[in-house]
Amino acid sequence: MKVRKKVNIVMEYISGGELFDAIVENEFYSEADAAALIRQMVTTIEYVHSKNVVHRDLKPENLLFEKKGSNVLKLIDFGIAAVVDESRPKLYEIVGSRTYMAPEIHMRTGYGKPVDMYSIGVIMYILLCGYPPFDYDQGIYELAFGSPEWDPISVTSKEIIKSLLDHDYNKRPTPTQLKNHQWISGKEVPKEKLENNIHKSIRNWMDTSKMKARIGGDRGGYRPRVMSIFSMMNNNPPPVAQKKNNKSKEQVLIESLKTEINNHAKGFIKLTEQVHKLENTTPNEILKDQMNSISQELAMMTNAFNELQQGFTPKLNNILKKHSY
């Protein structure tokens, strides 16, 4: 009997384009429009979570409109989705896209369904102002609602974002809790056109994201490479960083370098602690996942340190020589 070695999968054709592309093309855009989009995401994730599946890579690129002119969103790319159940109550792999990745994934303490809600929080933030809730100069998470972009945005939407981006995943709302919220349901949400240059901001953010992908930034399915100092030198930060930063370019680069080194140092300390805990442990499947994750993280951090040392030590020494008297 001849064994077939090829499987053909017929999938739905989704022609409406990515989430942000459609927003940029649409002249009229309001909080009510954003709420309708978030409602679809939440309803979809509610179903996914009911099957004990965690998507782990929720981002605008994975949210497509059914067809041109349609308001129906489709969630795609379940390539790194995983099942959480009694046999595997927590996940430990570091996967996803950095911008939308929940802190517990970075911390390797074990995570589950709430990571998808965190990603929705980041998407919602961008949907209302056009850029993410991060300071890319420093590489530090900082939730803020800066002026003037956030001035016309309702207090209710800001409270929802705060709850979704809570570092304590137990405090984040579940999909069921969130979909019944008055803002999400559309019962109490502003319907006036947003006049905060959001189309331009989203376009700038899209261009920045695509550039990051080309140099090795956010990539679904892998541990994302740290946004290095080298790329920071050549990139303009998103609007949130531009508005909050009054420092010189030299000061920004020095502080960025210090921050990256400190983050790696803290990471090495954390890894060392985890290795000590595992030394006298007989690995089961969950511990093996943790060990593989630690090993991969250690290798990437080592490469990052080498990159910093090779790239900057000679340059810094030359600068010091030039200015030594």
The full set of domain ranges for the chain reads 19-226, 249-322
Identify the weakest region by mean pLDDT among 88-97, 179-188, 209-218: 209-218
Encoding tokens for residue 257? Answer: 């370098």
CATH number of 19-226: 1.10.510.10
- 223, pLDDT greater than 70: no
Marked catalytic residue, from 57, 137, 218, 289: 57
Mean local confidence (pLDDT), 278-283: 67
- Global pTM exceeds 0.85: no
Could you report the per-residue pLDDT of 300-323, keeping only the tens digit for each?
A: 666 666 666 666 677 777 777 766
85 has catalytic annotation:
no
